[in-house]
Amino acid sequence: MIYDVGVVGAGFGGLAAAATLAKKGMKVAVFEASNELGGSAGKFERNGYRFQSGATLGMGFEEGGVLHRLFDQLNIDPPAMTLLDTIMDIHMPDRTIHYFRERSRWYEEIQRVFPTQSSAIQSFYDEVYRVGAIVDQLTEDLPVFPPRTLKDFMHLVPFVNKDAMKLLPFMNQTVEDRLKKYSLHNHRLFRVFLNGELMDSVQTSVEYCPAFLGYAALQTFHKGAYAVHGGLAAVAERLASFIKHSGSDLYMRHPIHKVEKSGQHFEFHTKRDRVFRAQKALLNNSVHNFHDTVSKEMGEQSYVKALKEEKRDSWGAFIIHGGVEGAVFEGEDAMYHQFIDPQKPDDLHDGGQFLMSLSDPRDSSMAPVGKRSLTISTHTSISPWWNSEKYEADKEQMKNRLLDTVDFYFPSFKEKLDIVLPGTPITFQKWLRRKNGKVGGYAPTGKYSWLNSYSIRTGIPDVYQCGDTVFPGAGTLGVTLSGMTAAKEMTR
C-alpha cells in the first residue's frame, strides 16, 4: 500500500494534521516512536498516578479558539475540562499575584498588586489585547509564514490591509521597547512577573521577545485556560481515535530512522526493518532531529542546514513529576502555580522561576483518592547536563531547589510528597527522542529573530514539517496551528 501522507510523530501538530487530512478523505499513516500519544503534551502512569509529560495547561478551546475550530471541523467532542477563572497564582517573595482570566478582574488585581503604576500597566494590557486580536485574525486563515515561495507571498497579499499595517510597529520592536512607552521598563516587580509569563509561553524575556509574539501569547491566557480531565493526552487520544475511525493508520512504537525518496514516493524505514510508502511526508519530530531523520540526499535539498541548527538557541527542561496529599493545597482555587525563588528572583531559568501544575481534585483519573498529581518544570541550560561528571548530584541539587521553593510558599509540602520523579534534558532525549533534550522550540533572541523562523516548508518537494520548532512556535496552540497549516498546504 502507498499512503497519501506519512506523518512522523504523534505530537499535537502531527495529530492535528493527520486528522485534518483524514477528514478530507486522504489515507494517512502516523508513526510514533513511543507507546504514548501527544509528544511533549503526552502522559505516563506510575503508582496510581497519571503524569503529564510536559505541557499541562489547556488553551484554545474557547469559542473560535484553535482547538475549538479543529474539533468543530472534525465534528467530534473534546474531552471534559474545567474552565479556570484563575489562570494561575504567581508566588513572589513578598506577594502572590492572582492571574485572572476575565479582563475586569485582572485589572482589579493589577490595581491591588501594582497600585502606583496600575494605570500604565492597564494601558499596556489594552495594547496587548488589541495587538493580540490582530495576530489572531491574521493566523486564522493559516498562511505559510515566513513565506518561502512565490505562492506563499501571493497568499499573503489579502492580509495586507489596514489592520495588518497596525501590526508593523510591533514586528520591529521587543516587548521591552513597548514597556518604555509606558515608563514600565524599570518597574522591577512588573518585569519579574512579565518575564515569568513570557518564559513560560515564548521561552524568552521582555528584553529579547518580539512584541507581536509576546502580545499574542499574553492575551491568549485571558481568552480561556482549561484543566483538561485526564490531561492534555486526552486531547491527543480524541484526535488519534478520529484518525483511526476515518480509515487511516496509527503505528505506535514505530520510530522512523530514515525517510528517503524512492521514485515517485517516499519510503519510511522503521527500527523494526519495516518499510512504509507515501506520496507526501510530514515531519513532526522537531527540526533538531531533521537531519537524523531524512536521507543525506534529501537533507542537501532542504532549507534546514545542519551546522546552523547546532548553533541555534534552545532550552532544555528540568522536570519533576510527583504525587502529594491533597490537604497541602486545601482552600487553594488555583491549579497552576508559578514560583519565583525568594533567594534569586531575577533568575529566569534553572529554578529561578518555574511552573507547577496540580491535577484537578475532581479528576479521579489523575491520582488516588485524597492525592493530587503534579508536574514541576523549569527551563534549563542544556550543555551542563551532558558534560557534567556529577550528573546525579546536580540532578539531586536541582530537585531540592525546586521542592524547597514550593515548601517555602506551602509549608509541609515536602513531607506530604508521595512520589518524586525528577527528569533532565537527558530524560527528554531518552523518552521523547528530543535531540540533546531540546524542548519548547527556539528561544527568540531579539526583535527580528522571528525572521529566522522555519515555516512548514522544508525546501524538499512534498516534504513538510510542523511542531514547536516551526512558526508560530512553542505551546500546544502554536504546534497545532503549524500542523493545520501543513495539512492545508498539502491539499491545495
Q: Based on the domain organization, do 273 and 199 belong to the same domain? A: no
pLDDT at 161: 77
Q: Based on the domain organization, do 117 and 21 belong to the same domain? A: no
Q: Is residue 484 part of a domain?
A: yes
Higher pLDDT, 91 or 346: 91
Maximum C-alpha span of the chain: 68
Mean per-residue pLDDT, 37-48:
93
Residue after which a domain boundary falls, among 169, 196, 218: 218
Q: Based on the domain organization, do 33 and 129 belong to the same domain? A: no
Report the percent of the chain where pLDDT is more than 70: 99
Range of 164's domain?
A: 105-218
Name the β-bridge partners of 5.
28, 280
Residue after which a domain boundary falls, among 168, 184, 218: 218
Q: Is residue 183 part of a domain?
A: yes
pLDDT at 346: 75
pLDDT at 348: 82
Q: Based on the domain organization, do 128 and 213 belong to the same domain? A: yes
Residue 95 — φ and ψ, nearest 5°? -170, 165
Q: Is residue 178 part of a domain?
A: yes
For residue 307, name the pLDDT band (cuts at 50, 70, 90). low
Residue 372 — φ and ψ, nearest 5°? -140, 135
Q: Based on the domain organization, do 266 and 298 belong to the same domain? A: yes
pTM confidence score:
0.95
Total count of domains within the chain: 2
Residues 14-28: tens digit of each pLDDT: 999 999 999 999 999
CA-based angle 193:339:228, to the nearest 5?
95
pLDDT at 141: 85
Residues 43-66: tens digit of each pLDDT: 999 999 999 988 889 999 999 999
Q: Is residue 394 part of a domain?
A: no
Residue after which a domain boundary falls, among 195, 218, 241: 218
- Give the whole-angstrom CA distance, residue 6 versus residue 147: 24
pLDDT of 133 > 80? The answer is yes
Q: Based on the domain organization, do 190 and 159 belong to the same domain? A: yes
Q: Is residue 418 part of a domain?
A: no
Give whole-number Cα distances, 416 to 71, 132, 174, 425, in Å: 39, 41, 43, 27
Give whole-number Cα distances, 106 to 57, 93, 121, 122, in Å: 19, 20, 11, 9
Q: Is residue 290 part of a domain?
A: yes
Q: Based on the domain organization, do 213 and 255 belong to the same domain? A: no
Q: Based on the domain organization, do 209 and 114 belong to the same domain? A: yes
